[in-house]
Amino acid sequence: MNKNEYLGIIDWGIGGISIHKLIRERLGPVPTIYFSDTGVTPYGRMTRPELVARLNKVIEYLRSQGVSHLVIGCNAASTAIPFLNTSGIEIVGVIESAVSLTQRARPERLGLIGGRRTVLSGVYRRAFAEAGIDVSQRIAQPLSGMIENGDVSSQGLRGECRKILAPLRNSSHILLACTHYPAITSIMRGLVSKETVFIDPAEELVREIGRWKLARGDEAIFLTSGDTAKMKKAAGSAFGVTINKVRKVALS
């Protein structure tokens, strides 16, 4: 495999850093390019045409940088995968892994928390209905923004978690349908039944990625369309990942 080929990871913010971290732990040295797109409207607030156009622009840029395999580390963006131009690139999103892992868990009472686009798209409800699984969904939009700002423990964050999780507190399982949420699982555990299991699809996703024939190499490039210092801070506070250098990229 060409040494200049990279595994790309796209997320609006730093949620996908949890996936990047797990790839390093499970798959070893894989050359990666991580693209955080905080310089534009959050993906969950874009219309579908806007989201598809933006993602295609990011993908075109990453392709020019040598990305041959691509992970969409964002649930909202993953809903747009069928409409993207991914010619020449293998691509995977988080939704299929989340559905597969949840189905194997055979939840008696399934809850789900996610961003507005993810929940309102109905993608999870339809997938679980086909498997005969009912799901109670809650929009948890404030949480990703707070985590993105480096907040993983404030009283404000705890209050939002309490409101969001209250109707789901007796769920047998709760699917984390946003890659930001694993950063605050320890807080959420104290707000639900002791028997509740939180489902984080990252492990399942990385197993899927492990089936690809990826290049080997320890290079990790971090790019953002937003604030570089903010990205570094958020990655450290949320996932304990130290990023030494972030390059700002403006896509016309």
**Gap between the Cα atoms of 38 and 175, Å rounded:** 24
Q: Which fold has domain 95-201?
A: Rossmann fold (3.40.50)
Residue 248, both tokens: 């700002």
Which residues is 10 bridged to in the sheet?
Answer: 35, 72
Q: The pTM is what? A: 0.93
Fold equal for 6-93+204-248 and 95-201: yes
> Which CATH number is 6-93+204-248 given?
3.40.50.1860
pLDDT tens-place string over residues 20-53:
999 999 999 999 999 999 999 999 889 999 999 9
Residue 252 DSSP label: -
Per the listing, tokens 């699982």 go with 185
**Number of Cβ within a 10 Å radius of residue 82:** 9
Q: Compute the distance between CA of residue 43 and CA of residue 54 in angstroms, rounded to an integer.
A: 9
- pLDDT > 90 fraction of the chain, expressed in percent and rounded: 96
Q: Where do the domains of the chain lie?
A: 6-93+204-248, 95-201
pLDDT at 252: 72
Flag residues of the chain having pLDDT under 70: 1-4
| Residue 2 pLDDT | 44
Helix (H, G, I), strand (E, B) or coil at 216: coil
